[in-house]
Amino acid sequence: MRFTRALVPTVKEAPADATNVSHVLLTRAGFIRRVGAGIYDFLPLGLRVLRKVERIIREEMDRAGALEVLLPALLPADYFKETGRWDRFGDTLFRLQDRKSGDYHLGPTHEEIITDLARREIRSYRDLPKNLYQIQTKFRDEPRPRGGLLRCREFLMKDAYSFDVSEQAAMKSYETMRDAYIRIFDRMGLRYRMVQADSGAMGGSLSAEFQVLVDSGEDAIVACNACTYAANVEVALVKRLDAPEPAPSPLAKLATPGKKTIEEVTAFLQVAPARMLKSLLYVAAGSVVMVVVRGDHDVNEVLVARAVGVSEVFLATEADVRKATGAEVGFAGPVGFSGRVLVDHAATRVENAVTGANETDAHYTGVTWGRDYQGDVVDLRLAKTGDACPQCASGTLASYRGIEAGHIFVLGTHYSAIMGAEYLDEAQKKKPLVMGCYGIGVSRLVATALEQHHDADGIRWPMSLAPYQVHLVNVGKDQAVQAATEELYSALEARGIEVLWDDRDERPGVKFKDADLIGIPLRVTVGGKSLAQGKIELKARTEADPKKATLIARAEAVEFLERAVREG
RNA sequence: CGGGGCGUAGCGCAGCCUGGUAGCGCACUCGGUUCGGGACCGAGGAGUCGGAGGUUCAAAUCCUCUCGCCCCGACCA
């Protein structure tokens, strides 16, 4: 492609509202333009990257035996009403009505629609297993779209759904997808980690996220430095500690006027935060539960929700706290508390702890688990760097940040049971299809890849995702240079190499700056000086030194570049 | 939904406090010089100042309402 015929509107200044690199660089390099909040145009370069992402995904999904379909984006409300998600999805659903006032919405995900297809078309165990996928635009009215392509209201997603005869067979489908995902993300040249994840409201039993490691990522994950354990902090566990030698002191009540926070109490009583019990009140499905963790630990709300058996919990309001404890906020504690108490395992190991007395301006000291208070002992604390690995003997956990690029689930029969998607087994018995679902954020990946591959000058696309493979630059107006560049351009195109030729009548500096910004992996420069020696210059975008270029004989250039492109 | 902020030329911004008929940089057009890391000189084109209402002789500027957007938090199959 000749630059003068292309649409590559690069700009020097970043949009004022951009807060992350991918948004800034995709905009500056002319890949995307913002149309509305969380809504973007893909310009030619952006679309080419998007297509590369799609192609890799299609190739690997097809290789894994999945079948591509295309489901509608515009959906009658009936299906979501059938599973209750019409209500549960709340404001996230883009709703609309047709001319006859019928309810419709734009699809945020397609479990219902695919399950409907399956219940109509899959009848026998002989039809199974099946894995259907699509690459489709999804719509979610996010409470707060942000980060350019990272969190949009309209975005492109690959979603796949597997159907099997049994839980065991579904596990196999899940593993096949897991392996396909590994190939996909490897091919994209991303550094990522597969982590245990919350199956949450999807009603699934097993799930893993593919987290692309980026410091600015929205998700926090922990991984063991010695074994394979890696998990989203939402569900990460920590090794349970052994009990200390018990040396219980008697329970005593102390006046702690105005000392509400852990910091205030530890300073006032001269005790370490680890000797405190932090008691927080949560509302779960309408009732209040007290959650007790060690003073230096934080509560993991997903674990609390799991322990209670609900999909989410909320921190109680001040009024709720006063009502439940009879004291101001800051003085809650498990001793003598009448409601349900959940205690983190580590908290039960604190002997002679200090905790609120459920009485304004008072705390207890000498609090000991089992003697002074009871409760359900579960794992409730948020894992953090340095915590002991729950899976192996000696490892410790380290924290990372990531962007969720893929998520795979075993769904079980959640949707098939509700919607009556059944097959007939060998014994002519009707059984619900066992499902799995597998998503990849296609448009998000364009931004995610960039978040991981850029420098101060611009983007550094991995070869597999780059909009073009070679960025050809001619410098100077020299007739010989012009002719040589033209010839090289044609030769490269003839070999099927994707080349963007900056044929603009611009100064070299402008061309080089734009080349760095756009981020095509190989830059080839044809200039008067080197051409006089029969050479052209090759510079990889990953090479930091702007002056470091490899000189290649003109005659060997095409083959050399062909090899360089193949090797990525 | 809670807190904060911003809407002025395609982009980034100033002007608003203290009302007086809209400006800067980039980009764009034309002419000239220049040409290996975002050149320079000169001449131009381009804005219902987010919208509605009000105050006033006069509103980008003051007042009221409204819409949109951004940031932090909440939320995020």
Query: What would the DSSP string read from start to end of A456-475?
Result: TTEE---TTT-S-SEEEEE-
CATH class of A468-567: alpha beta
Nearest nt to the A406 alpha carbon by C1': B77
Over residues A187-214, the mean pLDDT reads 85
**Residue A514 CB lies within 7 Å of the nucleic strand B:** yes
Q: Integer distance in angstroms from CA A33 to C1' B49?
A: 24
φ, ψ at A8 (rounded to 5°): -130, 75
**Residue A19 CB lies within 7 Å of the nucleic strand B:** yes
Q: Where are the beta strands (DSSP E) in A39-140?
A: 39-42, 67-68, 74-76, 95-97, 103-106, 130-139
**Residue A54 CB lies within 7 Å of the nucleic strand B:** no
Q: Which residue's CA shows the smallest distance to C1' of B39?
A: A507
Helices A44-63 and A167-187, axial angle in degrees (round to 10): 140
Report the percentage of chain A scoring pLDDT > 70. 98
Cβ atoms A418, A118 nearer than 8 A: no
Subset of residues 317-346 in chain A with CB less than 7 angstroms from any atom in strand B: none
Nearest nt to the A38 alpha carbon by C1': B69
Over residues A10-37, the mean pLDDT reads 91
Q: Integer distance in angstroms from CA A508 to C1' B31?
A: 23
Cβ atoms A20, A147 nearer than 8 A: yes
Over residues A310-327, the mean pLDDT reads 83
Q: CATH fold of A252-378, please?
A: YbaK protein (3.90.960)
Q: Which residue's CA shows the smallest distance to C1' of B5?
A: A17
Of A538, A544, A503, A459, the residue nearest A49 (C-alpha): A459
For residue A246, the model assigns a pLDDT of 65
**For the ranges A129-138, A174-183, A257-266, A456-465, which has the lowest average pLDDT?**
A257-266
- Relative to beta strand A192-196, strand A154-164 is unpaired
**Start-end ranges of CATH 3.90.960.10 in chain A?**
252-378
Cβ atoms A536, A564 nearer than 8 A: no
Cβ atoms A538, A553 nearer than 8 A: no
Q: Is the peptide bond before A15 cis (omega within 30 degrees of 0)?
A: no
For residue A302, the model assigns a pLDDT of 87
Residue at A521: amino acid letter: P
- pLDDT surpasses 80 at A215: yes
**Start-end ranges of CATH 3.30.930.10 in chain A?**
46-237+399-450
Q: How confident is the model at residue A305 (pLDDT cuts 50, 70, 90)?
A: confident
Residue A360 CB coordination number (10 Å) = 18
**Residue A193 CB lies within 7 Å of the nucleic strand B:** no
- pLDDT digit string (tens) for A488-547? 999 999 999 999 999 999 999 999 999 999 999 999 999 999 999 999 999 999 998 888
Please tell me the distance from the alpha carbon of residue A38 to that of residue A115, in angstroms, as a whole number.
29
CATH no. for A46-237+399-450: 3.30.930.10
List the nucleotides on chain B closer than 7 A to a protein CB. 1, 10-13, 25-27, 34-39, 68-77
Nearest nt to the A39 alpha carbon by C1': B69
Subset of residues 400-439 in chain A with CB less than 7 angstroms from any atom in strand B: 407, 439
